[in-house]
A and B are shown apart, each in its own frame.
Chain A
Amino acid sequence: MIKSVLVINTQGKPRLTKFYDILTVEKQQELLRSVFGVLCSRADNVSNFVEAESIFGPDSRLVYKHYATLYFVIVFDSSENELAMLDLIQVFVETLDKCFRNVSELDIVFNYSKLHNILDGIIFGGQVMETSSAEIIRAVEEISKLEAASNSISLVPKTVSGWRSR
C-alpha cells in the first residue's frame, strides 16, 4: 500500500502532501522535514530509491523524482514495486502537464483542488486506481465542467412533480 504522496520544492516547502495513514499534524511535519533532509542530500545521478525505515517505520521505501524545482515523492511498503512507483510518478506528472499545459510550480500552488482531484484519480486510499492519464484527464475535465455549470444560474421548477420528474 502507498503510505503517502508528497510534493516538496527544493527549498523544503511542501506543495502537496497526502498521507494514507492516520498521523498527527506534528508527526506529519516531522516526516516532511526528514524526507526533505534525505532528498536534498542526494546527488543527481544516483538511484531514485531510498530506504525510509528510519523515517516511516519498518518496511517502508521511498521513491522520488526531481523535476526542476520540485521533488515528487511516494512512500510505500513492500507490497509495491519500486519501478512501478517510479512509473506512477511519471504518469502523475504527465497528467499534470496535460491538464495545465507546461505545468510549473505556480500552477500547483494555485490549483490545489484540481491537483487533489487528479491525485485522487490515480491513487486512492493507498491503492493505485488508474494508470492511464487519458482517463484521468477525462474525469477531471468532467469535474471542472460540472463546477463551472453549478456556478451559473438555473431555474428550479416550483411544483413538487417538477422535482420528481428531474
Chain B
Amino acid sequence: MYTVVGDIFRKCDSSSNIGNAVLYECICCVSSIHLNPKLLEAAADVIARFLKSDSHNLKYMGIDALGRLIKLSPEIAEQHQLAVIDCLEDPDDTLKRKTFELLYKMTKSSNVEVIVDRMIDYMISINDNHYKTEIASRCVELAEQFAPSNHWFIQTMNKVFEHAGDLVNIKVAHNLMRLIAEGFGEDDDTADSQLRSSAVESYLHIIGEPKLPSVFLQVICWVLGEYGTADGKFSASYITGKLCDVAESYSSDETVKGYAVTALMKIYAFEIAAGRKLDILPECQSLIEELSASHSTDLQQRAYELQAVIGLDVRAIGSIMPSDASCEDIEVDKSLSFLNGYVEKSLEKGAQPYIPENERFGMVNISNFRNQDQLEVTSHGLRFEAYELPKPSVQSRTPPISVASSTELVPVPEPSYYRETPQTAPVPSSSDTGPSGLKLRLDGVQKKWGRPTYSSSSASTSNSSSLKVVNGVTQVDGVSSGNSKTHETSYDSRRPQVEISEEKQKLAASLFGGSSKTERRSSTGHKVAKASSHASEKFQTSKSTTIYSADNAVEKPNLVQPPPDLLDLGEPIVASSAPSVDPFRQLEGLLDSAQDPGTFGGTKAPDFMALYAETPAGGSAGVALPLSLNRDGDNLIPGLSNASSNTVHGGTTVTNPSQISKGPNVKEALEKDALVRQMGVTPSGQNPNLFKDLFG
C-alpha cells in the first residue's frame, strides 16, 4: 500500500485542481494509516507546496491537511508557523476559521493564552450565532483544560461570558461558580481568598456595563453575595446598592432578580452574624417589598425568606447561613426525627396518633407506582392503577394478607382484586394451556385458524423484522462510523515573505512554543477515538448479530411446517390429494406421446372423461380445463384452418398441420388453463358446453 501511495504522490500533476484534490486525498490517507516516515515526508512536502501557493483554495486545503497530520507529528506545524499566522490574519473568513480549528487542535499549555485571546477577539467579531456558540464553547474548553493560572482563567471566562454569555452552556457558568467556591484544592486559603477578592473586584467593575448576558449576571450576583464582604474591602451597603441596581435594570429577567435577592440575603446574614449593625438601604427595602408581591412565587418566597432571616438572632443566623459554606451539602432528615421528642410528649398528653400515610383519605402512596406487590389503595381515593383483568373462574386463593403494617385496616373487597392481578401478571402469559382463562375457549373447536403456525410464523417474522432492524442499525452505524472519521480540518497556509515582521515572529514563537514535551489534548483525541471505536464495535456486533439472526431465520423455516392453506374451506382431503393426481401432468404425457394424428382427437375425449371421473378432488382443476377448451373453441375453428392460431399463445407453434386439423391444441389449452387457474375460476357451476369441442 505504501508504494502505491508513494507513486501517486510522485506522479500527481499539481497544476490542475483535480491533481491537487488527489494529492489532498493522499495526505488524508497517509494520516489515517499506519505511520510511515517516507510517506509522511512526502505529505509534508505537498503541504508546503499548498501553503506556498497564492490560491486561497490551496491554502485552505493545506491547513486542513496540516491539521490531520498534526496529531501524528506535531513538529510539522512548527515549520509552517508563519504561514499559519498569515492565514489567521487573512481577510478571508473561511481561511480564518480553518486556521482557528488548526490552532484549537494544537493548543498546549504553553500557547493557550495567546490562542484563547485571539479566539475571543475573533468570537467578538462574529455575527453568526451558530458559529459564535461553537467558538465560545471551544474557548471555554481550552481555558478549562489548559488554564495556566486561576486568575487568568477567571478573566477569560469573564470575557467569554460578557460577549457570548447566553450562547454558552449553563453548566459552564456553574462550573465557574463551583471553581471559585471550592478554590483549587490546594488548601491554601490565602490564594483562594485572593482569587475571590480579585473576582469580586472585577465583577464590581463589570457590573456597571450595560447589557450583560443573563448568565453572567447570575454568576456575578452569586459571587458578590457569597464573597463580596468577605475581605472587608467593600462595605455591605456598597455591594447591596450595586445588587439593587442590577435587579432594577434587569427587571424583566426573573432569574437574575432571584439571584440578586438571595445575594442580598446572604450579605445581610453575614452582617448580622458578624455583629455589625444592619443598615438597609431604602432602595433595597423597596425592592424587597416589591418582590414580596411579585407574580413569581419563587421571588416572593425569596423575599419573605429574607425578611424572616433578618429578624433572627445571631446564633440562628450563624447556623443557617454560615459564612463560607457554599460547598457544604445540606443534610435533610426526611423522617424529621428531631421532632420525635415533641411527638412523644404530645402523645403522652393524649393527642391522637398519626394515621399512617397509607390510609389517609385521598392519599395515594407514591411507592404504589413502583412495587405493585404491596399496595393498599384506599377505597375513596383516586384509582391510579388499571382495573384488574376479568377473572374467569373462582380462584382457590385465599384473600392475601395486606402487607401494610397496621392490622386495624378494614379489609375492603377491592384490594383483593389487586392482589390477584399483580400475581397473575408474573405468570407467563405464553403458556398454551390458558391457566387463568384469559384466552379464548378453544375446546371443541376443530381447526383453529392456524394459531400454532401463526405463532411460529410470527416468530420467524419477528426474526426477520429483527433482522431488518439490525440491518438498519448496521446501516446507520456504517454511516456514522464513516462520518466519525475525524475530519480535523486545520488550516495552514504559508507564504514566503522576504521580511517577516517582529510581531509575527513573536506570535509565531508563542504559538508554536517549541517545547519538547508535547501535551496533547488527549481527551478530545481519545473521545474521538472512542467514538469511532464505539461505532465500529457496534457495527461489528450488529454485523455478528445479523449473521446470527440470518442463520436463525434460515434455520427456522426448515423447522416450521408449511402453513396450512388458509383458503381451504374445510376440506382436508383436498390438500392431501391435490399433489397426487395432477391432471396436467397426465395431459402432458399425452401430448408427447401423441404422434399419430388419426387417433388424436378420438383418444383424447375418453381420456378427458376418465380424468374427470377419477378425481373429484381435482374437480376444480378439471373443470377449468374444459372451460378453457370452450374458449379455445371459438378461436380454434378459424384457427384450425389458419396456421397463425398461435398468436394468442405467443410461443407455441404447432408445426404439424395434420395435428392442427385434428382437435384442440392441448398445449394451448394447457396454457390457457394456467391463465384461467390464475384468474380463479369457480369450481362449481354448470358448464353445459363442456364437451362440444371434444366431440365436434
Contact = CB atoms under 8 A, between A and B. Distances in A.
A81 B483 contact: no
A162 to B, nearest CB: 13
A43 B91 CA distance: 9
Interface residues of A, number: 22
Nearest to B93: A46
A54 B131 CA distance: 8
B424 interface: no
A53 B130 CA distance: 9
A83 B61 contact: yes
A78 interface: yes
A49 interface: yes
B60 A84 contact: no
Q: Decide if the interface of chain B is mainly helix, strand, loop or mixed.
A: helix
B56 A83 contact: no
Interface in B65-96: 91-95
Contact of B92 (A47, A81, A82): A47
Contact of B56 (A47, A53, A81, A160): A47
A79 B18 contact: no
A43 B90 CA distance: 12
Contacts of A53: 130
B61 A45 contact: no
A116 B239 CA distance: 70
Contacts of B131: 51, 54
B576 to A, nearest CB: 45
A86 B130 contact: no
- Interface centre among B17, B483, B485, by most chain A C-beta atoms within 10 angstroms, is B17
Contacts of A46: 56, 91-95
Contacts, number: 62
B21 interface: yes
Interface string B457-492: 000000000000000000000000011010100000
B536 interface: no
Contacts of B95: 46-47
A82 B18 CA distance: 10
A50 interface: yes
Interface in B469-528: 482-483, 485, 487
B128 interface: yes
A163 to B, nearest CB: 11
B253 interface: no
Contact of B94 (A51, A54, A79, A84): A51
A4 interface: no
B94 A49 contact: yes
| Residue from A46, A83, A86, A90 whose CB has the most chain B CB atoms within 10 Å | A83
Contacts of B56: 45-48
Contacts of B18: 83-84, 87
Interface string B90-111: 0111110100000000000000
Contacts of B487: 78
A83 B91 contact: no
A50 B131 CA distance: 13
B686 to A, nearest CB: 36
A59 interface: yes
A46 B95 CA distance: 8
A9 B61 CA distance: 27
Nearest to B129: A54
Contacts of A50: 94
B300 interface: no
Given A54-B130, A160-B647, A47 B17 contact: no
Contacts of A43: 91-92
Given A49-B94, A78-B485, A83-B61, 20 more contacts: A46-B91, A46-B94, A47-B55, A47-B57, A47-B95, A48-B57, A49-B57, A49-B60, A50-B94, A51-B97, A54-B128, A54-B131, A77-B483, A82-B60, A83-B57, A84-B18, A84-B21, A86-B17, A87-B17, A87-B21
19 contacts: A46-B91, A46-B93, A47-B56, A47-B59, A47-B92, A49-B94, A50-B94, A51-B97, A77-B483, A82-B57, A82-B60, A83-B17, A83-B57, A83-B61, A84-B17, A84-B21, A86-B57, A87-B21, A90-B17
Interface of B: 16-18, 20-21, 24-25, 55-57, 59-61, 91-95, 97, 128, 130-131, 482-483, 485, 487, 647
